[in-house]
Amino acid sequence: MEGRLELDTIDAPSLRGNPLGDPSRRPIYLYRPPGHRPGLPAVFFLHGFTGSAHSWTGFPGFGLTVPERLDRLIASGAVPPAVGVFVDGWTAFGGSQWVNSPAIGNYRDYVARDVVAFVEARLGTLPLPEARAVVGKSSGGYGALVMGRHHPDVFGHVASHAGDAGFEYCYLPDFPRTAGALLDTDAATWLDDLRHRARETKMRGDDHGPLNILAMAAAFSPRSGASAGLELPFDPETARLRPEVWERWLAHDPVRFVPASIEAFRRLRSVFLDCGTHDEFNLRWGARMVLESLMAGGVEVVHEEFDDNHRDTNYRYDRSLSFLLPRLARG
């Protein structure tokens, strides 16, 4: 690596006193490009569900980590230099969807306020929305769209790789599996059992679906006083949909919130969307629906599909970064 990747710690006021007791002091990886100087733009990377800041640095075998890919693009002259910021969003649910939730904590505020201010103070990045991009894959790609919806005054550029969208297709298939896992127990007890099992041995292969649905319920349908602080979008005895709760989820679906918030997306300088044509979670169709809404709203957007599934697609960051970095403002 020709630049430098540093592990630092951020003390995040937005996460203090969160209901899960998760730490407000978080690891954060900062990438300084070769010849780093003040006034550079910054790219903020949001990891997927069950990830953390350390996920970005895991040994990739014969491949490259995302920080290494960013470094290669910059060092080769393929793109102009920028700072890379690799944010930590791990929670006791495995993730936050990068939203503010009374069941999880204020993770949207944490990124848009705490992390941005920390990076500007630490690295002297250019304090303009047109000099900031937010990118991610899966739940991280969803988080990038959330930032575009709520914070076009902070992030001027957004890239979503296979971001969660089209909730009927990506979440509904796991509802009956989750109902089965919760028979004769409740959400809090199941989660406690999962955490114990993971510490003592490992998660089972069929744990991920119910864990994902419970985490999404904590993000999209929190309810004070309920087990684990969340309300399920289906009846736990029959798995029948509960329309009043399901509608709360759908309000968080990019397929719905992008057209409803089109003025915010019009303020963005860049939007990049992609998804594999064999995505196991059917996210290809959500991306296409989001694309349709953006185009109908007059938003400039680059959309790509590629011949692969949902997993091990870090090489796609070469495409989004090659598009975004030349478009970032510079001091």
Alpha-carbon gap, residue 74 to 80, rounded angstroms: 6
pLDDT tens, residue by residue, 4-48: 999 999 999 999 999 999 999 999 999 999 999 999 999 999 999
Q: Mean pLDDT over residues 243-248, rounded?
A: 98
Q: Mean pLDDT over residues 52-78, rounded?
A: 97
pLDDT tens, residue by residue, 81-108: 999 999 999 999 999 999 999 999 999 9
Parallel, antiparallel or unpaired: strands 4-11 and 25-32: antiparallel
CATH fold for domain 4-166+254-327: Rossmann fold (3.40.50)
Say which residues have a Cβ less than 8 Å from residue 40's Cβ, sequence separation at least 6. 33, 81, 82, 83, 123, 124, 125, 126, 131, 330, 331
The domains of the chain are located at: 4-166+254-327, 169-250
The per-residue pLDDT for 331 is: 85
The per-residue pLDDT for 99 is: 98
The per-residue pLDDT for 323 is: 98
pLDDT tens, residue by residue, 111-153: 999 999 999 999 999 999 999 999 999 999 999 999 999 999 9
The proportion of the chain whose per-residue pLDDT surpasses 90, expressed as a percent, equals 99
Helix (H) or strand (E) holding 29: strand 25-32
pLDDT at 74 over 90: yes
Mean pLDDT of the chain: 97
**pLDDT-based confidence at 185, cuts 50/70/90?**
very high
Alpha-carbon gap, residue 294 to 302, rounded angstroms: 10
Partner residues linked to 302 by β-bridges: 272
